[in-house]
Structure 1
Amino acid sequence: MEDVFVARLMSTTLHTVSPDTLVEDAAQLMLDNNISSVIVVDGENHLEGILTTTDFVHIVAKSQPKAETTVSRYMTTDVVTADAQDSIVAVAESLTEHGFHHMPVVDEAEGVIGIITTSDLAAYLSQSEQLVSS
C-alpha cells in the first residue's frame, strides 16, 4: 500500500469557536453543519482545544437539575444498518455517504447482533497496513 499523507486526506473546511462560546451555540453549529466536533481557537487562530459529541454526553450527564427527557425525543428512528455479510468497503462507503460514525449490524432472525464504527474500520486499515509492511 502506498504512503498516503495527512495533507491528502484532511479536511480544510474547519468549524471553529472561541473558548467563551456557549455550549448551546457550539452544539447548534455542530448540528447545522452535520459535524461531530468543533475546534476551539483563540483570536489568532491558535489551537485552544476541541469539543466533541462525546463531550456533550458528559455535559448532559452532569447537568443539574436533570431535564428528565426521554431518549425517544432525540433518537434517530430511520436507522441505516449493515448485515454481517456486507463488505467493509460497502459499509465504509455508506458511513461516508451519510456522515455516520456508527452502524448497527442486524440479522433478520436475531435482531441487532453488533455495531461497526469508523474506529473499527480505522483499526482494520492500521492492521492491514502493518501486515503489508511486514
Structure 2
Amino acid sequence: MDDVFIGNPMSSPMHTVGVDTLLRNAGGLMLEHGIGSVIVIDDNNRLEGILTATDFIRAVAEGDSDPDTTVAASMSTTITTTTANESIRTIADMVLENSFHHIPVVDETDGVIGVITTTDLTAYLSHRQDPSPS
C-alpha cells in the first residue's frame, strides 16, 4: 500500500465555506450532504481552517452556540495537512496516532484540492482486493 497515494481515495471536490459563513449555513451544508466537516478557505483557495462536527459540539458545550456567528468563531485553525502524493499508509498511520478524521489535501499552486477522511480510507480499503496466489 506504500505505492498508493492519497490523491486516489481523497474526496474532491470537497465542500468549502469562507470564514464569514454563518455557523447555521455551514451546519446546513454538512447536514444536506451528510458530511462531518467543511473546509474553510480564503478567496484564493488557501486553507483558513476546518469546521467539524466536533467543533459544533464544543461550541454548544462551551455555551457559544449562536447559529448566527461565523465559522471563524468555532473552526479549528491548527490543522495537519497532506499532499496528494503522500502514501496512504503514512496518512492511515497519522489518523490512528492522532485520532484525526479529516485531513485537508493541499497543493502549493492550487491551494486546497481535496480532503481525506476516515470514511475515504475505509471505502478504499473495503474495495481493495489482494491478488490471488498463482
What is the TM-score of this pair, normalised by structure 2? 0.47
The structure having more radius of gyration, on CA atoms, is 1
The structure, 1 or 2, with the larger RCO (C-alpha pairs under 8 Å, 6+ apart) is 2
Structure ranking higher in helix proportion: 1
